[in-house]
């Protein structure tokens, strides 16, 4: 197959994929999703438990044990507790096979039951250069803040196991399924006879909050309930559970969170998201900018509306130093930002310069969008 034919075939495949995506998007326009895709219930949050543990079995890459270091004290305590061996700190000064680590366990928003297992993240605390081949001894993990007076600071899980180090940083690693819960972590979003819907930050806004509250009230009115939802602020909606539904509150919440949300109900500002780590720019199709001229180094980008017609005295040039971009409709005063980025990509403009151009347009007030950098 020739190179030209291969490119033609690839382009056809991309066009087919684009058509499928457009079709799928059009099919979902009437119903964008369920309420749980835009909101969560307050009280159903993830939790993080922390602790300090001792890793042994390292190959001369552990903490220094000199001068009675914390690692030496921990190792002496472990030997005394597990093997009934009493060691003075001086006798441990030459050991380089142990290290103190911080231990972290993340519990999902659904909570956990005693016996459940979760991954453990460990990170060297002292001078250890690598945790490779190390094993974490049984370490309790607790809530990261001290409980109120009179309440015992009890562990929620016990972490242990062999560490898989991060290839890019051997001082950190993970133990798959290394934490076993010893206490339940139960979540309850119900406060009296109400729950609070927290709108995801990317959708939050008074317009969206009001629309979602109206949606909830409209849906519940079909069951004879009225005025159950009201807006607290741009990111929260208070929902009252009807009195005769309190006995089956969980069933009520299941129904609430699966209410269908039409695609045009969630109103968000046009956005441009810049992912610097992966050099990705995601553009809302609504983003436009008005006629502008931007210069970045040798690159010059000009937008002209309406499109000029070439003449012998004023021909349209096409060079790598500039790109002429114009709206297709006469009298139109703005154009899609997507067309600008397509031109930048065609000219092999570096990612950093693309970002600089977007910032410049935003600062100038020429771009109608919010820029979010990650």
Domains of the chain (ranges; CATH) run 47-181 (no CATH), 190-261 (3.30.70), 271-373 (no CATH)
Q: Which two tokens stand for residue 86?
A: 């009493």
Confidence of residue 215 (pLDDT cuts 50, 70, 90): very high
CA distances from 251 to 236, 247, 255 (A): 21, 9, 6
> Do the Cβ atoms of 164 and 175 come closer than 8 Å?
yes
Tens-digit pLDDT profile for residues 31-87:
468 999 999 999 999 999 999 898 998 988 888 777 566 776 776 676 666 655 666
Q: Which residue has the higher pLDDT, 205 or 268?
A: 205
According to DSSP, the residues that pair with 324 across neighbouring strands are 302
| Per-residue confidence (pLDDT) for residue 308, from 0 to 100 | 64
Return the pLDDT at 219: 94
Residue 317 pLDDT > 80: no
Instruction: Calculate mean pLDDT across residues 243-252.
Output: 92
Neighbours of 335 (CB within 10 A): 21
CA nearest neighbour of 139 among 92, 95, 178, 186: 178
Whether the per-residue pLDDT at 332 is higher than 70: the answer is no
Instruction: Give the Cα separation of 28 and 259 in Å (integer).
Output: 15
User: Which whole number is the average pLDDT over 320-341?
Assistant: 57
Q: What backbone phi and psi angles, to 5 degrees, belong to 57?
A: 90, 10
* Cα 322 from chain centre: 37
Tell me: pLDDT of 29 over 50: no
Q: Are 57 and 130 in contact (CB under 8 A)?
A: no
pLDDT in tens, 267-295: 777 888 889 888 888 888 778 777 666 66
Q: Is the dihedral of CA 353, 359, 364, 370 positive or negative?
A: positive
pTM of the model: 0.67
Q: Hey, which residues does 373 pair with through a beta bridge? A: 274
């Amino acid at each position: 197959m020739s190179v030209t034919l291969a490119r033609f075939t690839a382009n056809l495949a991309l066009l087919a994929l684009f058509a499928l995506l457009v079709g799928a998007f059009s099919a979902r326009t009437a119903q964008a999703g369920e309420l749980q895709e835009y909101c969560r219930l307050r009280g159903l949050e993830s939790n993080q438990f922390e602790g300090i543990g001792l890793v042994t079995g390292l190959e001369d890459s552990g903490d220094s044990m000199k001068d009675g270091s914390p690692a030496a004290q921990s190792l002496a305590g472990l030997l005394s507790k597990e093997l009934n061996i009493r060691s003075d700190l001086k006798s441990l000064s030459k050991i380089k096979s142990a290290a103190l680590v911080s231990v972290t366990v993340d519990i999902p928003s659904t909570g956990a039951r005693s016996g459940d297992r979760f991954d453990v993240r460990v990170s060297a605390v002292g001078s250890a250069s690598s945790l490779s081949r190390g094993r974490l001894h049984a370490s309790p993990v607790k809530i990261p803040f001290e409980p109120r007076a009179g309440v015992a600071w009890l562990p929620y899980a016990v972490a242990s196991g062999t560490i898989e180090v991060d290839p890019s940083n051997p001082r950190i690693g993970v133990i798959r399924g290394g934490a076993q819960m010893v206490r339940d972590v139960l979540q309850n979003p119900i406060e009296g006879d109400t729950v609070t819907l927290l709108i995801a930050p990317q959708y939050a806004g008074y317009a969206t909050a009001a629309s979602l509250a109206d949606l909830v009230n409209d849906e519940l009115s079909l069951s004879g309930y009225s005025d159950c939802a009201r807006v607290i602020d741009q990111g929260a909606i208070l929902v009252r559970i009807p009195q005769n539904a309190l006995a089956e509150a969980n069933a009520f919440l299941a129904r609430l969170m699966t209410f269908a949300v039409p695609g045009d109900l969630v109103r968000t500002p046009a956005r441009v998201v810049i992912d610097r780590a992966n050099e990705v720019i995601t553009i809302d199709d609504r983003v436009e900018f008005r006629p502008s001229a931007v210069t970045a180094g040798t690159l010059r980008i000009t937008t002209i509306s309406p499109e000029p017609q070439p003449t012998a005295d004023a021909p349209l040039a096409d060079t790598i130093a500039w790109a002429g971009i114009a709206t297709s409709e006469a009298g139109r005063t703005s154009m899609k930002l997507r067309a600008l980025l397509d031109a930048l990509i065609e000219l092999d403009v570096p990612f950093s310069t693309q970002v600089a151009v977007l910032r410049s347009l935003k600062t100038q007030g020429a771009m109608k969008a919010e820029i979010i950098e990650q």
